[in-house]
Amino acid sequence: MNIGFIGLGKLGMPCAEEIAKAGHFVFGYDVEPRDTSLVDIQSSIKDVVSKSQIIFIAVPTPHDKEYDGSQPCMNLEPKDFNYSIVESVLDEVNKYVDNQLIVLISTVLPGTTRERFTPMKGRFVYNPYLIAMGTVAFDFTNPEIVMIGTEDGTETGDAKELIQLYKSIAQNDPPYIVGTWDECECIKVFYNTFISNKISFVNMIQDVAERQGNINVDVVTGALCKAGTRIINSSYMKAGMGDGGACHPRDNIALRFLAKKLRLGYDFFNGIMLSREEQARNMALKLVELAWDNNMPIVIHGKAYKPRVSYTEGSYSLLVGHFCKEVAAPYTENISVSYVDKCTGDTYDSNKPAVFLLAHSATTTYRYWDNPDSDELYCEIPEGSIVVDPWRKFSSDTLKVIHYGNTR
């Protein structure tokens, strides 16, 4: 088939390339120059539309920078995503489309497609992806579920056409779920929120372990994971760093806006965001106490929001670093906070001991994907340093190691 892809960023390009690898002809367009041997880059949206049978739209719905979760944002007024890019692209597509199938995959709040994006001249479905940065190609070709939203939720010919395309791409046998536009919008954002809630929950247990004593959080969460009848499964039940990235914090912020708009009478999502920030503050307090008592700087090992990527949007490491400076400010201006991360280019070359927070754990983040054998250190940790490991995996015969969340 001839497939069009408008938006070739960190999500769009890997997906477009996987479609091409499956034997389809892919025509792409982006406002930025893109280099690829698999996608035929076009000079305009018009060219993509004219050459394609199915046209995917994968452009961002951003929040303002201050809403990304890498800094405290509880004091900010909840707001919706910015849909101006999607609306601009849809308007342009509408000028040239005939009877092609238009597939929107951008993240939006429930009700947005019906209220703002339709009707379209062409055939239209909403088809968001459940994909994580760092494993985009794998997640796209091995999806947990495939959601296809139609106007009334029936499995139309358009939905069947898209399902056939995905069957030629998928390397697994995922369930195909057809619902209304609004239902698929819900599935996408509440999927992310459910993960955020699980992470906040297990990190709350970690906070209790730190304050109460005689508790290893892994014993508690390990037991809960074995209660599979009612607690679902072990995914995201490893206490450690909080969630981050370009989706999770911002989706919760947008859902706070939705709760207010719909007058639900309560703000569940506010609780998730508040927990995330206070858990980061509690971790920062531990680091500052150690740094103050031992006259050491703080080095956060991992600046990006997770290992193997360079993206710092929504980075929990940055949030912890912010609180380190905030909680230390009333007492001293001499607490130094720096980062080391090979993907962001941040280095630590000093031989002076420091308090190291091991923010990244590839063995935790990617355990369901390629199951790495060990966690990589981005620098040599100087002798005399103190290592704080919120994942409770690091050990050393020569360094003092604190397994954050294990107070046995």
How high is the pLDDT of residue 130? 95
- For domain 191-403, which CATH number applies: 3.40.50.720, 3.40.50.2020, 3.40.50.2000, 3.30.70.1350? 3.40.50.720
The answer to whether the peptide bond before residue 72 is cis (omega within 30 degrees of 0) is no
Where is average pLDDT lowest: 16-20, 87-91, 247-251? 247-251
Question: Do 2-182 and 191-403 fold alike per CATH?
Answer: yes
How high is the pLDDT of residue 228? 79
Per-chain mean pLDDT for the chain: 93
**What DSSP line would sit under 213-275, residue for residue?**
-S-BHHHHHHHHHH-HHHH--STT-S-SS---TTTHHHHHHHHHHHHHHTT-SS-HHHHHHHH
Three-state DSSP class for 13? Answer: helix
Which pair of structure tokens corresponds to residue 321?
């670093």
Total residues found in the chain within this entry: 408
Decide which of 118 and 181 is more confident: 181
How high is the pLDDT of residue 31? 96
Mean of pLDDT values over 174-178: 97
Phi-psi region of 361 (alpha: psi -120 to 50; beta: other; left: phi over 0): beta
Given a cut of 90, whether residue 75 has pLDDT beyond it is no
Mean of pLDDT values over 377-398: 95
- Tens of pLDDT, residues 352-363: 999 999 999 999
How high is the pLDDT of residue 243? 87
**What DSSP line would sit under 111-133, residue for residue?**
THIIIII---SSEEEE------T
How high is the pLDDT of residue 138? 95
How high is the pLDDT of residue 360? 96
Mean of pLDDT values over 90-104: 96
Task: Indicate the pLDDT class of residue 118, thresholds 50, 70 and 90.
Answer: confident
Given a cut of 70, whether residue 369 has pLDDT beyond it is no
How high is the pLDDT of residue 64? 85
Boundaries of every domain in the chain: 2-182, 191-403
- For domain 2-182, which CATH number applies: 3.40.50.2300, 2.60.40.730, 3.40.50.720, 3.90.1150.10? 3.40.50.720
Task: Indicate the pLDDT class of residue 175, thresholds 50, 70 and 90.
Answer: very high
CA-based nearest residue to 252, from 267, 230, 231, 237? 267
How high is the pLDDT of residue 223? 93
How high is the pLDDT of residue 368? 66
How high is the pLDDT of residue 370? 67
- Torsion, Cα 137 140 143 147, to 10 degrees, reads 160
